[in-house]
Amino acid sequence: MFDVIIAGCGPTGAILAAELRLHDVRVLVVEKETEPASFVRIVGLHIRSLELMAMRGLLDRLREHGRQRPAGGFFAAIDKPAPEGLDSAHAYLLGIQQPVIVRLLEEHASELGAEIRRGRAATGFEQDDDGVTVELSDGELLRTRYLIGCDGARSTVRKLLGVGFPGEPSRNDALMGEMKVGVPPEEIAATMAGLPEPTRRFWLRHFGEGVYSVLVPAAGVSDRSEPPTLEDFKQQLRTVVGTDFGVHSPRWLSRFGDATRQAERYRVGRVLLAGDSAHIHPPIGGQGLNLGIQDAINLGWKLAAQIRGWAPETLLDTYQAERHPVAADVLDNTRAQVELQSPGPGPRAVRRLLTELMDFDEVNRQLIEKITAIGLRYDFGAGPDLLGRRLRDLDLKQGRLYDRLHQGRGLVLDRTERLTVEGWSDRVDLLTDPTAAVDAPALLLRPDGHIGWIGEEQQDLNEHLTRWFGAPAT
């Protein structure tokens, strides 16, 4: 019997498996595809995801295969630089090929002991009070304590679970791909500068090595059931821009819509949803993959605590309570971004106004922190502003803060030199450093890096250790 079966081995499923293995949870990941996707699509890891990778000791491995870019110009593709002094040691975007990130995260999960079976899919399940019986596509029946659907926008797990997926169907389709161009950069720049409205659901962005990301409207490319061709892109570029820029040698080509949906519930009994199984939205702003990774790291330690037997009664319920509003906010900001790229005179006027407003640092900072998730604050009740927020990586007497979080445990950072975690030392570490550059006498970090308590009294700390990490060991 497995502790957890995860349906889907994309980035969300792979990092969730790794998080569970940090706590010796027996995990099986099933993936219907026999091999990772072969097309070379560049995805971007935003600041918060980079921080989470650093917390687990993965960032250096990922950076070897990625390219750092400035953390600006995300919101509705409005070309504004990132504000200065973003509260992170990793204030950049890391562009990385999607097959590479899947491979690296899958390798990480395997190194920690997760079992991964490709060419298998979860096609059915039945749950009872003690666990879930999962049927695989080859007819095998497996027993598990929990099943997690990380199987994408058309999630079989979500559909079989009967969870509603309300929202808006796609109204506007677009073609998106990566390819080389046959004209010099100067000609591209001159053409783009001459466009009256270069943001009408169109972009041409240089990724390096002569490769460009291309987005054009799909209107006129009639058959949604067929993958787009390079000729489709050329036709649409000529229609929208007046030239096809001599595009050639595509890395990958796709067609997508602006459907926006969110699962009504993230948990029904012993079955949970994460990543695209729980929410979909247009790719504008590059938030989707990041949102799924952040779901997984929020869920992993909580589900592990439930399985290991030390979780407080309501801990697993906080997964939906915390992550459902986050995804709802992402859906709203992508709706706004889509409208800001619409061709009508009203949206164009609003876009011009917002472009002016983003010259104010506060406005630009608010939007960047929203897109990159570093402005997120969970509602943990009344307390200082830091409560519920993530804590940036700090330079400490004993190295860096995130280096102390590699094992997915809680951490008390104590500047008072008076506190203890006695009774919780099997799941929480104590780091005493009176020189730590944080505006608090002491704080409790959850395994996902969010601050669950701020204070200086031992009794108060004990109450919050119990809230997040259960009763003390006897």
Is residue 378 in some structural domain?
no
Could you tell me if residue 387 is inside a domain? Answer: no
Same domain, 349 and 440: no
CATH number, domain of 430, equals 3.40.30.120
Q: pTM above 0.85?
A: yes
342, 434: one domain:
no
Domain boundary residue among 195, 226, 256?
Answer: 256
Q: Compute the distance between CA of residue 136 and CA of residue 142 in angstroms, rounded to an integer.
A: 8
In a domain, 282, yes or no: yes
Buried b or exposed e, range 202-215, using 16+ CB within 10 angstroms: bbbeeeeeebbbbb
pLDDT on residue 98: 87
pLDDT band at 38 (very low <50, low <70, confident <90, very high): low
Specify the number of domains making up the chain: 3
- Is residue 474 in some structural domain? no
Provide the CATH number for the domain around residue 314. Answer: 3.50.50.60
Beta-carbon contacts of 243 under 8 Å, excluding residues fewer than 6 positions away, are 191, 237
Contact 226, 255 (CB under 8 A): no
Residue 185 lies in a domain: yes
Which residues are CB-contacts of 448 (< 8 A; sequence separation ≥ 6)? Answer: 52, 297, 298, 301, 390
Q: Taking the CA of residue 101 as centre, how many other CA atoms within 13 Å lie in the half-sphere pointing to its CB? A: 26
Clarify whether residues 64 and 158 are in a common domain. yes
Let me know whether 227 and 322 are in one domain: no
Q: Are residues 157 and 186 in the same domain?
A: no
Per-residue confidence band for 310, with pLDDT thresholds at 50, 70 and 90: very high
Domain stop point among 234, 256, 278:
256
Q: 182 and 158: one domain?
A: no
Domain span including residue 342: 2-167+261-372
Domain boundary (305, 340, 372) is at 372
Residues 238 and 179 in one domain: yes
Q: Return the CATH number at 201.
A: 3.30.70.2450
Q: Are residues 366 and 272 in the same domain?
A: yes
Q: Is 192 exposed, middle or buried (0-12, 13-18, 19+ CB in 10 A)?
A: middle
Segment 450-460, tens digit of pLDDT = 999 999 999 99
Residue 41: predicted pLDDT? 73
Is there a contact between 48 and 139 (Cβ–Cβ < 8 Å)? no
Summarize the confidence of residues 136-157 as an average pLDDT.
97
405 shares a domain with 325? no
Q: What is the reported pLDDT for 343?
A: 79
The model's pLDDT over 335-371, given as tens digits with 9 standing for 90+, comes to: 999 889 887 899 999 999 999 999 999 999 999 999 9
Q: Note whether 410 and 304 are within 8 A (CB).
A: no
pLDDT-based confidence at residue 36 (cuts at 50, 70, 90): confident
Higher local confidence (pLDDT), 421 or 193: 421
* Same domain? 332 vs 444: no
Q: b or e along 257-291 (b: 16 or more beta carbons within 10 Å of the residue's beta carbon)?
A: bbbbbbbebbbeebbbbbbbbbbbbbbbbbbbbbb
Angle between helices 11-21 and 98-111 (to 10 degrees): 20
Note whether residue 380 is domain-resident: no
Q: Do residues 174 and 255 make contact, with C-beta atoms less than 8 angstroms apart?
A: yes
Q: What is the pLDDT of residues 73-113, one digit of tens each?
A: 889 989 899 999 999 999 999 999 888 999 999 999 999 99
Clarify whether residues 205 and 337 are in a common domain.
no
pLDDT at 438 over 80: yes
Looking at the structure, do residues 325 and 411 belong to the same domain, yes or no? no
Q: Is the residue at 201 inside a domain?
A: yes
Q: In this predicted structure, what is the pLDDT of residue 333?
A: 96
Position 352 in a domain: yes
